[in-house]
């Protein structure tokens, strides 16, 4: 049995937006192959994993700004991550997980996946497992398509289900304004609607956008704004028509580009600098069509241990 050298570990993990999300046809197993370009952004959850007395079992507490609808049982991805790590490395599953949430729930920003990644890293540190990044990614891939990226962060290309992650060359810092909705969208429901909208259309195998990768390499936010693409956006807007109004407001106030992040309903607006971010945030807030607004930047590093005691 691996001996623990700490009693508690805190991991900070960012949310993400998808600069590109291209969705292939529905496959026989019910899933879709995707090509996506992730960027991690400066909006964080803090996950604390603490050893409990033998026999205490696993527990999960959640607090913070965005906790409505977050499960605190075995259906939570962080809980599942803890169980998987304890089984794989034969660790005592007497742990308390505490999540302080700032990443919106069901917002297309991988909040649940972020918490799972943070839990994997926290348990690795808590028990001094010393696992390589590849080994941690292997565990992460068993939990969901976004979890491996949340470990590494930065800017990356995801293939397959999104879980085959390779770093993308990116220069510069990008400024975003996020329009958050008060009610989330179900990812399966958005994919189902995407399939419905595509009925009778010839499915195309997705490819990564060269224009988008060139814009990132050149640190060119104007070119990046023109290259943003999300095949799920029409489906998200179909299920939540108010998203079209939000997208229109961003366009009117000079955003370089706009995109529904992932399966939505968060809308991300790319802007040129912090001043424009503030102007757009004020405009969106006064428009009355958004729940709340946040200003963030990216890329940022993925899950990181911030405290051990």
Residues 121 and 211 in one domain: no
What is the band of 30 on the pLDDT scale with cuts at 50, 70, 90? confident
Report if residue 308 sits inside a domain: no
Note whether 106 and 93 are within 8 A (CB). no
Two structure tokens written together for 185 = 């969208």
Give the model's pLDDT for residue 29: 85
User: Does 1 map to a domain?
Assistant: no
- Is residue 54 classed exposed, middle or buried when 0-12, 13-18 and 19+ CB atoms within 10 A define those classes? exposed
Q: For residue 85, how many C-alpha atoms fall within 13 Å in the half-sphere facing its CB?
A: 33
Q: Which of 21-35, 207-221, 245-259, 277-291 has the highest mean pLDDT?
A: 207-221
pLDDT of residue 4: 44
Same-domain status, 187 and 208:
yes
Q: Which residues contact 200 (CB under 8 A, 6 or more apart)?
A: none
Pull the structure tokens for residue 239: 């299920």
Q: Are residues 17 and 163 in the same domain?
A: yes
Q: Which residues contact 201 (CB under 8 A, 6 or more apart)?
A: none
Residues of the chain with pLDDT > 90, as a percent, come to: 78
Domain end position, chosen among 169, 200, 222? 169
pLDDT, tens digit, for every residue of 81-106? 999 999 999 999 999 999 999 998 87
The per-residue pLDDT for 232 is: 96
The residue that leads in pLDDT, 2 or 114, is 114
- Asked if 38 and 156 sit in the same domain, the reply is yes
- Of how many residues is the chain composed? 309
pLDDT tens profile 136-166: 999 999 998 899 999 999 999 999 887 889 9
User: Coil, strand, or helix at residue 95?
Assistant: strand
Same domain assignment for residues 178 and 164 = no
From 169, 184, 218, the end of a domain falls on: 169
Enumerate residues 6+ apart whose C-beta is below 8 A from 89.
2, 123, 127, 129
> Which residues constitute the domain of residue 97?
8-169
Q: pLDDT tens digits, residue range 120-139?
A: 999 999 999 999 999 999 99
Q: Where residue 5 falls among pLDDT bands split at 50, 70, 90?
A: low
Residue 92: inside a domain: yes
Compute the distance between CA of residue 148 and CA of residue 117 in angstroms, rounded to an integer. 7
- Average the pLDDT over 215-239 and give the result: 97
Region of poorest pLDDT, from 14-23, 102-111, 191-200, 226-235: 102-111
Phi-psi bin for 262: left (phi > 0), alpha (psi -120 to 50), beta? left
- Which residues, other chains included, contact 13 with Cβ-Cβ below 8 Å and sequence gap of 6+? 44, 45, 46, 47, 114, 115, 117, 118, 121, 150, 302, 303, 304
Report d(CA 9, CA 95) in Å as an integer: 11
Regarding whether 164 and 98 lie in a shared domain, the answer is: yes
**Residue pLDDT, tens place only, 283-292:** 999 988 887 8
- For residues 231 and 97, membership in a common domain is answered with no
**177 or 26, higher pLDDT:** 177
Let me know if residue 3 belongs to a domain: no
Number of domains in the chain: 2
User: Distance between CA atoms of 95 and 127, rounded to whole angstroms?
Assistant: 12
pLDDT tens digits, one per residue of 35-54: 999 999 999 999 999 999 99
* Co-location of 148 and 109 in the same domain: yes
The pLDDT score that the predictor gives to residue 157 is 96
Report the pLDDT averaged over residues 62-84. Answer: 89
Paired sense of beta strands 155-159 and 257-260, if any: unpaired
65, pLDDT greater than 90: no
66 with 111: CB under 8 angstroms? yes
Q: CATH number of the domain at 139, please.
A: 3.30.230.10
Q: In the structure, what pLDDT confidence band is assigned to residue 195 with cuts at 50, 70 and 90?
A: very high
Looking at residue 70, what is its pLDDT?
A: 84
Distance separating alpha carbons of residues 101 and 201, to the nearest angstrom: 40
Please indicate, yes or no, if residue 307 is contained in any of the structural domains: no
Q: CA–CA separation, 31 vs 63, rounded Å?
A: 32
How many Å apart are CA 191 and CA 26, to the nearest integer? Answer: 9
Break the chain down into helix, strand, coil percent, rounded to 5.
35, 30, 35
Is residue 226 a part of any domain in this protein?
yes
In a domain, 303, yes or no: no
Q: Looking at the structure, do residues 180 and 164 belong to the same domain, yes or no?
A: no
Query: 180 forms bridges with which residues in the sheet?
Result: 292
| Active-site amino acid positions | 16, 146
* CATH number, domain with residue 221: 3.30.70.890
Question: Residue 306 falls within a domain, yes or no?
Answer: no
Residue 87 shares a structural domain with residue 155: yes
- Residue 27 confidence (pLDDT) above 90: no
Instruction: Indicate whether 155 and 213 sit together in one domain.
Output: no
Pairing of strands 8-26, 229-230: parallel
Q: Do 45 and 134 lie in a common domain? A: yes
Last-in-domain residue among 125, 154, 169: 169
Tell me: pLDDT of 3 over 60.
Answer: no
User: pTM of the entire structure?
Assistant: 0.93
């Amino acid at each position: 049995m691996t001996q623990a050298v700490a009693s508690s570990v805190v991991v900070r993990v960012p949310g993400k937006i998808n600069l590109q999300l291209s969705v292939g046809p529905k496959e026989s197993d019910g899933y879709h192959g995707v090509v996506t370009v992730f960027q991690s952004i400066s909006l964080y959850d803090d996950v604390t994993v603490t050893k409990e007395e033998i026999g205490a079992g696993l527990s999960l507490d959640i607090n913070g700004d965005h906790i409505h609808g977050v499960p605190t049982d075995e259906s939570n991805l962080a809980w599942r991550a803890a169980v998987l790590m304890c089984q794989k490395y034969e660790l005592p599953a007497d742990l308390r997980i505490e999540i302080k949430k700032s990443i919106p729930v069901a917002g297309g920003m991988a909040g649940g996946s972020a918490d799972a990644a943070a839990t994997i890293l926290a348990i690795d540190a808590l028990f001094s497992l010393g696992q390589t990044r590849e080994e941690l990614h292997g565990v992460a891939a068993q939990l969901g398509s976004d979890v491996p990226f949340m470990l590494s962060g930065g800017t990356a290309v995801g293939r397959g289900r999104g879980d085959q992650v390779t770093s993308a060359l990116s220069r510069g810092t990008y400024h975003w304004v996020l329009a958050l909705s008060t009610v989330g969208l179900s990812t399966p429901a958005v994919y189902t609607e995407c399939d419905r909208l595509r009925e009778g259309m010839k499915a195309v195998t997705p490819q990564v956008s060269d224009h988008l990768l060139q814009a990132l390499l050149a640190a060119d936010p104007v070119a990046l704004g023109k290259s943003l693409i999300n095949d799920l956006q029409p489906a998200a807007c179909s299920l939540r028509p108010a998203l079209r109004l939000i997208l229109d407001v961003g366009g009117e106030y000079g955003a370089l580009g706009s995109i529904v992040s992932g399966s939505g309903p968060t809308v991300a607006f790319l802007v040129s600098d912090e001043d424009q971010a503030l102007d757009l945030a004020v405009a969106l807030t006064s428009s009355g069509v958004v729940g709340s607004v946040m200003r963030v930047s990216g890329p940022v590093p993925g899950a990181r241990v911030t405290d051990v005691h």
